[in-house]
Structure 1
């Protein structure tokens, strides 16, 4: 009984990190066509953070943390959410959702290079192959004339790259930082503080705020999906899987998310899937596979502790 219920939970958690995370690109793209990007991201994460705090209280989980932990969650919230996600949402005004997901699938490559540059960690031979394939895949992806001639696309691609640097540095920071031991509480603080910073960014850029009551029904549904499923459920599933299965299995979401995003973007928004994009995806994801070998993952795990 215990084993079968655990197996069912693992399957559901994988569905969450494969399909739900893959669909957030489409959901953000739909919402950003109507709402200002930083306001959208701020509303999503502040609401998710508040809901997590309420859930934690109902479950009897203490949400009190030290000043140092609060400061560290603010830094992590900025690196992952305020800049790392907020600017991606902004870039989706100019870049197709599937294209953005493909570019972001090179994240393990960025983390590996940052570990080499900032911490002097030697890159494993298998990972060197992965890096080379990753660079080729990214080049094939971003060099398509029919894509880069669209207005704002190049700027969008460059800003997504900076978001990946922010996520990569955030990953290295979090691995060493003093953070709340309960990951649910940790997530709540990162989302809430990240959402507040996004609100400040939104006001700084002069975005026009609006009440959820005046949004179209489609965007209201999208926001509910982003808050409950994209933020709370998928992230909780991710943390559950890290404790329940091997890290290389969890890392497979890196290959599945962009495929889900490409298919959903093509089906719902008529986004173009070019032959070169398919080739780029194959080369890039093969590179990510080489980076996510057991030896490389052992390094990542060492940093997490």
Structure 2
């Protein structure tokens, strides 16, 4: 793959995880108002996985993988989708879509801390500032009385945080794990296996299953968009980025996701955007910037040193 096509793929992939995933909070909120959460998420990912397998067959893309790769895609499917996404969908029954997106915007902080504790990566000064700002932002976000006074909202907040830990750990796991080399195949197996595990959870929790023909039009449209764009397109882009850029950079999707989610939740669902939420968002996103700005400074310094070494005759 040439440099220009690869750059284009990276740009389009970032657009997918920035904008498309930002809209999934609204789509899930609409769907979970009518459907049980684990059935909803299970149908979304299992359907997307089967569609991906079908596309691979038509495109003559081999689906054969090793036992190790099957195990690893199952682990990633559980961490990313069964727990990481399914529980967030459940939590959306009790918290606003914009609030959930704002809380998830602290994910780069969780990634950084896990890299420190699990991989021994040193936290640099700029990143420490980001961690402090992130903690302050989270406190401002979850300490709003009008939000935490809602039924089961505190439980929803805690479960979303655990989902962030699950996503962060899985991001580090897939960056080094043996997975199918084709990103489409990788995504298909993660969604297929994650979807099966979600349906198992749905059965264990005694959820009532319904056919799509019985759903309202908004829920049908939401599920269609979640399957095609939120699952197949965005998650394939996500897996692609995890292999070609660092996990911290992939986590920067949280710069844009909460802004998209807050705007759509406010416009379509009349969700309240409080002043404290706006302040919390500003503090959190500033913290995320500081966490990810260290590498930018290093790149700038290398570029400056290179220029300084050049002689006037060069």
What is the TM-score of this pair, normalised by structure 1? 0.90
Q: How does 1:29-68 map to 2 (within 5 A)?
A: 29-68=29-68
Q: Residues 231-270 of structure 1 correspond to what in structure 2 (within 5 A)? A: 231-238=231-238, 252-270=252-270
User: What's the CA shift string for 1:105-162, capped at 9, x where partnerless?
Assistant: 1111011111212222211111111100000000000001111111111000000011
Q: Secondary structure at the match of 2:64?
A: coil
How far is 1:179 from its partner? 1.0
Offset, 1:177:
1.4
- Offset from partner CA, 1:248-302 (integer Å, 9 cap, x none): 876543211100000100111110100000000000000011111253999xxxx
Q: How big is the shift at 1:10?
A: 6.5
TM-fit CA distance, 1:67: 0.8
Structure 1 residue matching 2:256: 3-state secondary structure: helix
**Cross-structure match for 1:286:** 286
Deviations 1:61-116 (A, max 9, x none): 11100111101111110001000000000000000000000000111101111121
Aligned twin of 2:86: 86
Query: What's the counterpart of residue 153 of structure 1?
Result: 153
Runs ≥4 residues deviating over 3 A: 2-15, 236-252
| Residue of structure 2 in register with 1:175 after alignment | 175
Contact 2:45 2:194 in 1 (8 A): yes
In the alignment, the residues of structure 2 paired with residue 240 and residue 175 of structure 1 have an alpha-carbon distance, to the nearest angstrom, of 10
CA RMSD in angstroms, aligned pairs only: 2.5
Q: Single out whichever of 93-102 and 211-220 deviates more from structure 2.
A: 211-220
Query: How far does residue 230 in structure 1 lie from its aligned partner after superposition?
Result: 0.6
Q: Secondary structure at the match of 2:88?
A: helix
- Following the alignment from structure 1 to structure 2, what is the Cα–Cα distance between the partners of residues 115 and 244? 18
Does residue 103 of the first structure (1) align with residue 103 of the second (2)?
Answer: yes
2:222 matches 1:202: no
CA distance in 1, matches of 2:114, 2:5: 39
Given the superposition, is the C-alpha separation of residues 174 and 147 from structure 1 closer, same or farther in structure 2, using an over 3 Å criterion?
A: same
> For the residues of structure 2 that align with 1:219 and 1:248, how far apart are their CA atoms?
33
Return 235-244 or 276-285, whichever deviates more.
235-244
Larger C-alpha radius of gyration, 1 or 2?
A: 2
Structure 1 stretches lacking a partner, 5+ long: 299-305
3-state DSSP of counterpart to 2:121: coil
Q: Say if 1:248 and 1:297, in contact at 8 Å, map to a contact too.
A: no
Change (3 A) 1:187 1:8: closer
Whether the aligned pair in 1 keeps the contact of 2:175 and 2:242 (CA below 8 Å) is no
Q: For residue 302 of structure 1, what is the aligned residue in structure 2?
A: none
Distance in 1 between residues matched to 2:247 and 2:87, nearest whole Å: 28
User: Conserved in 2, the CA contact under 8 Å of 1:41 and 1:198?
Assistant: yes
TM-score with structure 2 setting the length: 0.87
Query: Contact 1:107–1:168 (CA<8 Å) still a contact in 2?
Result: yes
Give the Cα separation in 1 of the matches to 2:149 and 2:205.
26
Show the counterpart of 1:303.
Answer: none
Flag structure 2 segments of 5+ consecutive residues without an equivalent. 299-314
